[in-house]
Amino acid sequence: MRSTKNSDYMMMLATYGLRFLVVVFMIAAAATFLHVNNYRPKQIFLSCDRPCHHLDWPMICRLKLTLEVFQSLSKSCGDCPQNETACLTKHCVSADGHRRGILTANRQLPGPTIQVCENDILVVDVINRLPGKAAAVHWRGQSQIESPYMDGAPLVTQCPIPSYTTFQYKFRASVAGTHLWHSHAGADVSNGVFGALIVKQADIRDPHRPLYDIDDPNHVVLLSHWQHLPEIALTEGHVKPAILLVNGRGRQSNGPNVPYTRFTVIPGRRHRFRVANAGGAGTCPITISIDAHPILLIALDGHPVEPRQVTSITLAKGERADFILKANKAIASYWMNLHTSKECGTKPINGAAILRYKGSTTKEPQSVTETTDQLEVEESMRRLAMTTNPAEKCGNPENLCVTEIQSLRKMPTVLRAPKTDVTIRLPINYKMQTNDIVGNSGAEMRILNVNNVTFTYPSSPLLTQGTDVTEETLCSSTSDDNDDARNENNETASLSSRRCRRGDGLASDTCECVHVRYVPLGATVEIILLDQGGFDDLVYHLHGYSFYVVGARKFGRSLPLQELKDLDEKGQLFPRNLDCTVAKDTVVVPKFGAVALRFKADNPGYWMLRDEHAAEWTRGLDVVLQVGETSDMVPAPQDFPKCGSFVGPDYFLI
């Protein structure tokens, strides 16, 4: 009996010993394999700003944006601008050396640049510490197809974030490219609440990867208009900016000796730069160029285009561009020049930054004359100024319009048909109205409208609390309209068929209401924006979608809507590019002109067609597209914040 137990014990020891030897052997074999193959443990990244690989799992990227009142040249700047080094300290906003009150995110101007990989999950806590001011943050360029309630359009997709509260945005960064995050209110952007959102692709997915060597995260160029007074009241419009800033820095001629923004490049290497016009106090487009260096345009609004070598790029508010710069000139420093056009405003506004070659010993860039000479001797160099205006200076051999640029990808087949399922024509105009406010002496004021509708916001978000919005506040087509609004074969909604709330005593036929246009889910859509009022600053951004700019034209006069329809029916409005036209999410409407946009309505929700130059939330020129029925839309989480009007009980305590 005892011998049997001993034999069992010895057998168990032998079994465990054999298992131990097998494990040791496997570990040794694995270690030998890794050593022979020169394996190094994968780097542990402390942030989502990392090299992107197509086989990596998406990361969850968390950050906080604290919105608060701040000041340029605050105590954080020490003895800046007398000491230029002090201007570079943390939380020092030097701008152009002028002290003024500003609004910031994390006490930076601009706010933090967010850099992630395609399909990463962004979790952003927006902490609103702006006293008495509600806020919302829009993530420009992101379609929010999985989370439309995270789009950041107040009272359309979410409640505004009240003062001293926090709202957490959670969404997938599914659209690669150079984008922006910014406050919804124009005045907040003018005062500093904006930043870059860079969604990078894995090398294997980037069609332009062979064209550049370095994509430096520090080569993000954020342009903005800067003024010396905080944004003024909505009724007074914009103040003329003092200077154009690059990443929050600039210097006036004969002004304080504050630092410029500097970009360092490695001689002989090809560098990718990402540029965005964040807007700000002014409305004029901004032109960027670099002394002695041609630049290779490769993307617009995050979408790749056929590479074009140009000498300058002009961007309107909210537009973005990517370009490649080859550092093949003499090792020195060069000016990066900014200016607005002579045609916009009383005189051009300028700004600058510095492009520095690594190893350069010169602090200040060369003179313009020397760098111009270098550019002129560049072989096979053609001077070509690129502009995103779809109709201005087109056909000129020295200019390149956005409609003359080719996309890398063809338009979807479904959008190439001569006619789309839905056509929405939106004439943009204004009417003069007498202001009867006491003390104004009957002064006339300009009431802006789109198809005779002046946009205003609902009391609750259309997406998340649509049942709380009264029909009396909506200008929208209904199922009993005698147009094709719900059958969706032609124009949507006519003024006579809209329910709208008119101002008391208003004699004109202009309505002030929530301007909503219904589009069936899955329909092909063409929107024609027509400027009848002669506006200099019409720029529109479509939330939730990218569109194709298929045609544009200037008329030189105010064209009636019926005449536009007649020209279009005869095929004389403009030729449509239905092949490789560019995809964008922001477009310039030519002065006294029209532009046509096409997209497929495959993202259900309420999406703003947003007028970019409203001084606050709106100046009346916005439109909301309702894509699909409410049942088609992704529902908000159960505990999503709610808001709306409060009306007390029908009785009073006595």
Q: What is the pLDDT of residues 38-49, one digit of tens each?
A: 444 444 445 788
Structure tokens of 413?
């087949």
- Domain annotation for the chain: domains and CATH numbers: 60-365+381-388 (2.60.40.420), 413-479+509-632 (2.60.40.420)
Report helix, strand or coil for 561.
helix
Q: Which pLDDT does position 613 carry in this prediction?
A: 87
| Tens digits of residue pLDDT in 100-151 | 999 999 999 999 999 999 999 999 999 999 999 999 999 999 999 999 999 9
Find which of 223-227, 321-325, 408-412 is predicted with most confidence, using mean pLDDT.
Answer: 321-325
Pairing of strands 539-542, 586-588: antiparallel
Encode pLDDT of 514-536 as tens digits: 999 999 999 999 999 999 998 88
Is the four-CA dihedral 219, 223, 227, 230 of positive or negative sign? Answer: negative
End-to-end CA, the chain = 99
Q: How far apart are CA 546 and CA 550, in angstroms?
A: 13
pLDDT in tens, 262-300: 999 999 999 999 999 998 887 889 999 999 999 999 999
Among 5-14, 196-205, 353-362, 382-391, the minimum mean pLDDT is found in 5-14
Distance in angstroms (rounded) separating the CA atoms of residues 554 and 484: 29
CA distance linking residue 396 with residue 401, whole number of Å: 9
Is the Cα torsion angle 115, 243, 98, 104 positive or negative in sign?
negative
Q: Please name the residues in contact with 33: beta carbons below 8 A apart, sequence gap of 6 or more.
A: none
In this structure, what token pair is assigned to residue 570?
């005869």
Pairing status of strand 593-600 against strand 547-554: antiparallel
User: What token pair was written down for 522?
Assistant: 């899955």
Give the per-residue pLDDT at 85: 87
CA 169 to CA 139: how far, in whole Å?
A: 10
3-class secondary-structure state, position 120: coil
Q: Measured at the alpha carbon of residue 341, what is the angle toward residues 335 and 347, in degrees to the nearest 5? A: 100
Model pTM?
0.87
Secondary structure E strands in 133-236: 137-140, 165-172, 177-183, 194-200, 220-226
